[in-house]
């Protein structure tokens, strides 16, 4: 099949989150299944590209085509700067979507599937069924929209509608109209042939009033065409045995000893007392409400009282920077922080932690918990979205499960999960068994790519 992947960020060129990881890993996995893939993405000022060419070949059958536009993409940020969004994001990504069609014609790649990611590419399914409806070049093309986080929808004032350049009138309730505004993601959901999201559980949750971000009704109308496919993890990138960021790389045979050493390194860097036996709880992630910082702050004194350390890495809302600073100030011997976005530090924290806190309010898929397992930091998670699909409660009797899970979103339930984790930590045999299971867990891209393939096939029938 001829497959096009359209996305606003793709590893290794540009990344702000999990979307980029997925769009970097999926094309080579599809190539392995025998498909020909073209990736289309903007060339940002900050994109990591050496060649000036507009097309880069990254595999025998995978090409990346860049949409170039100095005014729109020659800026410091991908979507905005200094915590704000660019005022012309509608124009920027509308241009990206229109250009994608032109590029495909220029390179004479008449696709079977155009796989669009998030709102930035969600106008493409709309254009395919309007502007390009009768175009023989796109006669066979079907579209898939993948939603990586339903909270980001591309909503703009209705006076901007005309800038979308859609032939025909689609500004109505069965189109892009949304409470008298333009909603680009909504258009994608209605016009795409098929819709996926990044975990089976999240695919159900987005159809509920509670987690549907006001699009649950629109998604329920498409219920038969909505699928959940779990993201995989790139196990070559995330490999503690061969990780140049770690002072003490490790495999399953030396995880205990080297985790202790890595812990001492991080404790020293954070000015915490050097205690190799103290249980360490790590957090790596965006500092925003979604990631559960509020509930962590509600129990952090309780964790510290139980003689454990908590270490944070992240950047985000000022409110959470302040809350973490205050907790570190209250507990200088037990709470440490690197409030920065730094790949090297993130790797060190995963490797130094015994447990990984991920009590997200909602979580489309989540890579943090997968990475944590790979680095022997046992996840403690809220049972939601991709966390519910990937982390299962450890049962020391039957020796099943890979972490600790709480269901009700209360500080009591979260604290109970932390207590359970500490109980296992004190039982050397149980902890060793759990670590062994964690390190062996795999979420492969091969499996995810096969599922995408199955749905592409359904789509073109
Ligand atoms: P999301 O995409 O919602 O931000 P995920 O868990 O899917 O969350 O992916 C987050 C990715 O970003 C992981 O690879 C994580 O290690 C990385 N990351 C998050 N915060 C930081 C940070 N402060 N420094 C380095 N890497 C980070």
Question: In whole angstroms, what is the distance from residue 228 CA to residue 318 CA?
Answer: 33
Whether 51 shows a pLDDT value over 80: the answer reads no
For ligand 1, mutation pick of 347, 364, 367, 386 (most atoms within 8 Å of CB)? 367
Ligand 1 center–CA 342 separation, angstroms: 10
The verdict on 450 and 427 lying in the same domain is no
Q: Ligand 1 in contact with 367 (CB < 6 A)?
A: yes
Give the model's pLDDT for residue 237.
86
195 within domain boundaries: yes
The verdict on 89 and 207 lying in the same domain is yes
Beta strands in 171-265 (DSSP E): 177-178, 181-183, 194-197, 226-228
> Strands 80-81, 84-85: parallel, antiparallel or unpaired by DSSP?
antiparallel
**Residue 155: which CATH number?**
3.40.50.2000
Q: How confident is the model at residue 50 (pLDDT cuts 50, 70, 90)?
A: confident
310, two tokens? 């908590």
Q: Ligand 1 in contact with 286 (CB < 6 A)?
A: yes
Q: Ligand 1 in contact with 342 (CB < 6 A)?
A: yes
- For residue 255, what are the CA distances in angstroms to 158, 230, 270? 56, 27, 22
Tokens 């699909």 found at: 389
Index of the ligand 1 atom closest to the CA of residue 358: 6
The verdict on 270 and 171 lying in the same domain is no
The verdict on 222 and 295 lying in the same domain is no
89 within domain boundaries: yes
**Most distant CA pair in the chain, distance:** 69
| Of 282, 433, 291, 304, the residue nearest 354 (C-alpha) | 282
Domain range holding 273? 255-440
Which residue, by CA, sits nearest to atom 19 of ligand 1?
285
Structural domains of the chain, count: 2
Ligand 1 center–CA 360 separation, angstroms: 13
Tokens 């000893």 found at: 257
Question: In whole angstroms, what is the distance from residue 217 CA to residue 285 CA?
Answer: 30
Ligand 1 center–CA 425 separation, angstroms: 26
Question: In whole angstroms, what is the distance from residue 367 CA to residue 17 CA?
Answer: 10
The answer to whether 126 and 101 have CB atoms below 8 angstroms apart is no
Backbone angles phi and psi of 383, in degrees to 5:
-75, 85
Q: Ligand 1 in contact with 284 (CB < 6 A)?
A: yes
The verdict on 270 and 221 lying in the same domain is no
The answer to whether 195 and 223 have CB atoms below 8 angstroms apart is no
Helices (H), 353-408: 368-374, 385-390
The verdict on 216 and 284 lying in the same domain is no
Mean pLDDT computed over every residue of the chain: 96
Residues 6+ apart with CB under 8 A from 232: 25, 29, 443, 444, 445, 446, 447, 448, 449
423, two tokens? 């109980």
Ligand 1 center–CA 353 separation, angstroms: 16
- For residue 194, what are the CA distances in angstroms to 224, 225, 227? 9, 5, 8
Each residue's pLDDT tens digit, 335-359: 999 999 898 999 999 999 999 999 9
Give the model's pLDDT for residue 49.
86
Helix (H) / strand (E) element for 219: namely: helix 216-221
Three-class secondary structure of residue 441 per DSSP:
coil
Each residue's pLDDT tens digit, 225-271: 999 999 999 898 899 999 999 999 999 999 999 999 999 999 999 99
For ligand 1, mutation pick of 8, 324, 368 (most atoms within 8 Å of CB)? 368
The verdict on 227 and 260 lying in the same domain is no
SS (H, E, C) 328-391: HHHCCCCEEEECCCCHHHHHHHHHHCCEEEECCCCCCCCCHHHHHHHCCCEEEEECCHHHHHHC
Whether 52 shows a pLDDT value over 90: the answer reads no
- Cα torsion through 363, 367, 373, 379, rounded to 10: -30
Q: Ligand 1 in contact with 154 (CB < 6 A)?
A: no
Q: Ligand 1 in contact with 199 (CB < 6 A)?
A: no
Residues 6+ apart with CB under 8 A from 183: 153, 154, 155, 176, 177, 215
Each residue's pLDDT tens digit, 54-78: 899 989 999 999 999 999 999 999 9
Q: Ligand 1 in contact with 346 (CB < 6 A)?
A: yes
The verdict on 6 and 130 lying in the same domain is yes
Which residue, by CA, sits nearest to atom 18 of ligand 1?
285
Ligand 1 center–CA 116 separation, angstroms: 22
Each residue's pLDDT tens digit, 83-103: 789 999 999 999 999 999 999
Each residue's pLDDT tens digit, 119-169: 999 999 999 999 999 999 999 999 999 999 999 999 999 999 999 999 989
The verdict on 429 and 452 lying in the same domain is no
Q: Ligand 1 in contact with 42 (CB < 6 A)?
A: no
Partners of 38 in the β-ladder: 4, 63
Looking at the chain, the whole-number percentage of residues with pLDDT higher than 90 is 94
Q: Ligand 1 in contact with 364 (CB < 6 A)?
A: no
The verdict on 261 and 204 lying in the same domain is no
Helices (H), 375-444: 385-390, 411-426, 428-440
Each residue's pLDDT tens digit, 346-397: 999 999 999 999 999 999 999 999 999 999 999 999 999 999 999 999 999 9
């Amino acid at each position: 099949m001829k497959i096009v992947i359209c996305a606003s960020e793709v590893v290794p060129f540009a990344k702000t989150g999990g979307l980029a990881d997925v769009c970097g890993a999926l094309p080579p996995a599809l190539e392995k299944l025998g498909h020909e893939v073209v990736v289309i993405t903007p060339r940002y000022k900050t994109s990591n590209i050496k060649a000036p060419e507009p097309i880069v070949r990254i595999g025998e059958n995978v090409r990346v085509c860049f949409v170039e536009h100095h005014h729109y993409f020659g800026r410091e940020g991908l979507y905005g700067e200094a915590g704000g969004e660019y005022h012309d994001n509608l124009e920027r990504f509308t241009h990206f979507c229109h250009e994608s069609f032109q590029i495909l014609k220029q390179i004479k790649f008449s696709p079977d599937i155009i796989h669009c990611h998030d709102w930035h590419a969600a106008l493409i399914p709309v254009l395919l069924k309007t502007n390009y409806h009768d175009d023989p070049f796109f006669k066979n093309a079907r579209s898939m929209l993948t939603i990586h986080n339903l909270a980001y929808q591309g909503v703009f004032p209705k006076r901007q509608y005309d800038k979308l350049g859609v032939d025909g009138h689609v500004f109505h309730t069965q189109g892009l109209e949304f409470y008298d505004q333009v909603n680009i993601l909504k258009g994608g959901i209605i016009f795409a042939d098929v819709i996926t999201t990044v975990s089976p559980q999240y695919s159900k949750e987005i159809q509920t009033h509670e987690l549907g971000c006001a699009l649950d009704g629109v998604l329920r109308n498409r219920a038969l065409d909505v699928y959940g496919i779990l993201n995989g993890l790139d196990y070559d990138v995330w490999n503690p045995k061969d990780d140049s960021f770690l002072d003490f790389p490790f495999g399953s045979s030396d995880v205990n000893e080297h985790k202790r050493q890595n812990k001492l390194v991080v404790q020293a860097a954070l000015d915490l007392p050097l205690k190799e036996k103290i249980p360490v709880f790590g957090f790596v992630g965006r500092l925003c409400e979604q990631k559960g910082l509020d509930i962590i702050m509600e129990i952090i004194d309780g964790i510290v009282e139980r003689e454990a350390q908590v270490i944070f890495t992240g950047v985000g809302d000022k409110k959470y920077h302040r809350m973490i600073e205050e907790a570190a100030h209250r507990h200088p011997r037990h709470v440490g922080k690197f409030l920065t976005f730094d790949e090297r530090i993130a790797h060190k924290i995963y490797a130094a932690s015994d447990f990984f806190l991920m009590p997200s309010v909602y979580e489309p898929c989540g890579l943090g918990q997968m990475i944590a397992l790979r680095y022997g930091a046992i996840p403690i998670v809220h049972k939601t979205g991709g966390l519910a699909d990937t982390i299962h409660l450890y049962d020391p009797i039957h020796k099943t499960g890979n972490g600790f899970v709480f269901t009700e979103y209360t500080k009591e339930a979260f604290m109970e999960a932390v207590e359970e984790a500490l109980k296992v930590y004190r039982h050397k045999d149980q902890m060793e068994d759990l670590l062994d299971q964690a390190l062996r867990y795999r979420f492969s891209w091969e499996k995810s790519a096969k599922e995408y393939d199955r749905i592409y096939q359904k789509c073109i029938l």
